[in-house]
A and B are shown apart, each in its own frame.
Chain A
Amino acid sequence: MSAVIKRDWPHIDEVNAGDKPSGREWEEQGETPVLETALRVLPATLAGPVARLPQAVRETLEEIRIRQDRPLEVVYGGRYGFLAADGKLSVSPFSAYRPTRGDCRQLIDLISNHSLYAMEEQLRRGFITVAGGHRVGIAGRVVLERGTVRHMRDIAGFNMRIAREVRGVADRILPLIWDEDLSSVRHTLVVSPPGAGKTTLVRDMARALSYGRDEGPFQRPALKVGIVDERSELAACVEGVPSFDVGPRTDVYDGVPKAEGMMMMIRAMSPDVIVVDEIGREEDAASIHEAVLSGIRVVATAHGRDWRDVAGKPVLKELIAAGAFSRIVVLERSRRVSGGITVLDGSGRPLVGRPAPAAAGRSP
């Protein structure tokens, strides 16, 4: 058993080779900005081991999983490992640090800005977005009121997803989804399995469209972009201000239900393009039709393996049949290696000029 695992985990030994001493030293050392914001909301007992992880792991860190009285886990570059108090990684959970009740209380205090009472809406949704755009999913005992989730207490499980923005991914596909005649973007659906970088891609598309380009190849005007961010993933707003650079001409509705948010955006903010994540419900379709009718371009994402998978899903099938999307961008799931991006037209035929393989970044 252990031999099998060992073969899969040769990196663990290399990775443990260069580790560092104790404490909250990351504060002085000037940690990479991405991780520094994440470490800031961790209690010292947890921030220490994470900061002591080797450089290679820290750079590919995806998730920090904290469960009370159970081993501290990190997910990085598609792998996982348990973390000991001295920052050593191991596949065996037995030597790992086990966060105490105190750690968890301190963590909830820090991620809620010392004010859990002000986080009721976030608790109901199951996650809190902290400065830096990192999303902390929380699990605990759910308190119901008349059958709906009202609150969560005895919170003992946290999943901190490290948010990274990957700039420039959109540049490769923008020429393929650009409509020269109207000098705007075409209605585009981005399709991929979870974790392949949908959100990262559309965030970068929002930014690229919002900035436009006035020099070099492929010049285009800057568009007014409206982001409907139901799950606070695209812009990762903290107190209404996006944590990511989503462009100078971008407005964000944070935490609003998608269908409603799209309608509000159409009525109130007169965008050229609406960017929305994870469509697929009945009411989403109506809003997308409304946007299309109003002459607003839609860039949306949906879960799915490929074109056929998406074309078979109830709501998406209808939208595609109605010709709501004239470009489908399919991301292939690929970890650590450069991902493949395929751009199809509205009827599922690949466009000529397949873009160069792009490193599809992980979404937060």
Chain B
Amino acid sequence: MIKLLGAMMIMAAGAMLGFGQARRLRERPAELRRLVMMLQQLETEIEYGCTPLPEALGKFARPDRQALSEMMAGIASLLRRGGGVTVEEAWRLSVDEYWPCTSMNREDREIFVQLGTVLGTSDREDQLKHLRLTAALLKEREAEAAEERRKYEKMWKSLGLLGGALIVVILY
């Protein structure tokens, strides 16, 4: 009886692991897409509105409290609080806090953090170039992520379950 219970738990754990991985694969392209859209919105703010950065980033605050909107709004609130915080520091702090809540990986993060080191520190054209470059890089990552999802999402789902089953079979 206990053996059966244990076996079921292993199966469940395996399935959860697989589904978790599958979910990350599914969410990553969507999140990258949202990030690119945010950068495009920021681009518009900078190009046509000349909106100061704290204000432009503050516009991303949404009631839905998604990690990405929270991250952007977090940067804005750090900048508004003052006390000598630069964009680069605020950017890094906020990314450190919210990035683990997303499904994006370390390389995606590197690209995004890089943007924080240049934002707000040069003239408009330069800013737009940096924003477009980052958006282009992230788009590339998004295409890659979509491909990965297509290849591995189903595999992880079944792999988790089957892996659990395999362990059960071996141990039984």
A contacts with B: majority SS: helix
Report Cα–Cα, A47/B52, bound state, in Å.
24
**CB-CB nearest 10 A-B residue pairs:** A115-B52, A117-B124, A114-B53, A118-B50, A114-B120, A115-B53, A109-B86, A117-B127, A113-B52, A151-B123
The reply to whether B120 and A115 form a contact with Cβ atoms under 8 Å apart is: yes
Cβ–Cβ < 8 Å partners of A123 in chain B: 123
Cβ–Cβ < 8 Å partners of A113 in chain B: 52-54
Could you say which of B27-35, B59-67, B76-84 contacts chain A? Answer: B76-84
Task: Tell which of A116, A117, A151 has the most Cβ of chain B within 10 Å.
Answer: A117
The reply to whether A117 and B86 form a contact with Cβ atoms under 8 Å apart is: no
Cβ–Cβ < 8 Å partners of A110 in chain B: 84, 86
Report Cα–Cα, A251/B102, bound state, in Å.
50
Task: Tell which of B121, B124, B127 has the most Cβ of chain A within 10 Å.
Answer: B121
User: Does any Cβ of B come within 8 Å of A112's Cβ?
Assistant: yes
How many A-B contacts at CB < 8 Å in the complex?
63
Minimum Cβ distance to chain A for residue B121 (Å): 6
Given A108-B121, A153-B122: A114 in contact with B82 (beta carbons within 8 A): no
User: Does any Cβ of A come within 8 Å of B22's Cβ?
Assistant: no
Cβ–Cβ < 8 Å partners of B50 in chain A: 115, 117-118, 120
The reply to whether A109 and B54 form a contact with Cβ atoms under 8 Å apart is: no
Question: Which single residue of chain B is at the shortest CB-CB distance from A40?
Answer: B82
A-B contacts, 21 listed (Cβ < 8 Å)? A44-B84, A105-B121, A106-B86, A109-B87, A109-B121, A110-B86, A114-B52, A114-B87, A115-B51, A115-B52, A115-B54, A115-B56, A115-B120, A116-B122, A117-B46, A117-B50, A117-B122, A117-B123, A118-B50, A153-B122, A153-B123
Residues from 80 to 126 in A contacting B, C-beta threshold 8 Å:
105-106, 108-110, 112-118, 120, 123
User: Does any Cβ of B come within 8 Å of A274's Cβ?
Assistant: no
Cβ–Cβ < 8 Å partners of B84 in chain A: 24, 42-44, 47, 106, 110
Which of A27, A117, A120, A153 is in CB contact (< 8 Å) with B120? A117
Given A40-B82, A113-B52, A114-B53: A120 in contact with B87 (beta carbons within 8 A): no
Cβ–Cβ < 8 Å partners of A115 in chain B: 50-54, 56, 120
Count contacts on A: residues with CB < 8 A to the other chain: 24
Minimum Cβ distance to chain A for residue B119 (Å): 8
The reply to whether B46 and A114 form a contact with Cβ atoms under 8 Å apart is: no
Report Cα–Cα, A47/B85, bound state, in Å.
13
The reply to whether A112 and B120 form a contact with Cβ atoms under 8 Å apart is: yes
The reply to whether B121 and A116 form a contact with Cβ atoms under 8 Å apart is: yes
Given A113-B54, A114-B52: A120 in contact with B123 (beta carbons within 8 A): yes
Report Cα–Cα, A315/B126, bound state, in Å.
42
Cβ–Cβ < 8 Å partners of A44 in chain B: 84
Cβ–Cβ < 8 Å partners of B56 in chain A: 115
Question: Which single residue of chain A is at the shortest CB-CB distance from B82?
Answer: A40
The reply to whether A114 and B83 form a contact with Cβ atoms under 8 Å apart is: no
Cβ–Cβ < 8 Å partners of A47 in chain B: 84
The reply to whether A109 and B120 form a contact with Cβ atoms under 8 Å apart is: yes
Task: Tell which of A24, A109, A153 has the most Cβ of chain B within 10 Å.
Answer: A109
Minimum Cβ distance to chain B for residue A42 (Å): 7
Minimum Cβ distance to chain B for residue A208 (Å): 34
Minimum Cβ distance to chain B for residue A356 (Å): 42
Task: Tell which of B51, B52, B122 has the most Cβ of chain A within 10 Å.
Answer: B52
Report Cα–Cα, A138/B123, bound state, in Å.
15
Minimum Cβ distance to chain A for residue B166 (Å): 54
The reply to whether B83 and A24 form a contact with Cβ atoms under 8 Å apart is: yes
Give A41-65 as 1s and 0s: 1 = Cβ < 8 Å from B's Cβ atoms: 0111001000000000000000000
Report Cα–Cα, A123/B126, bound state, in Å.
15
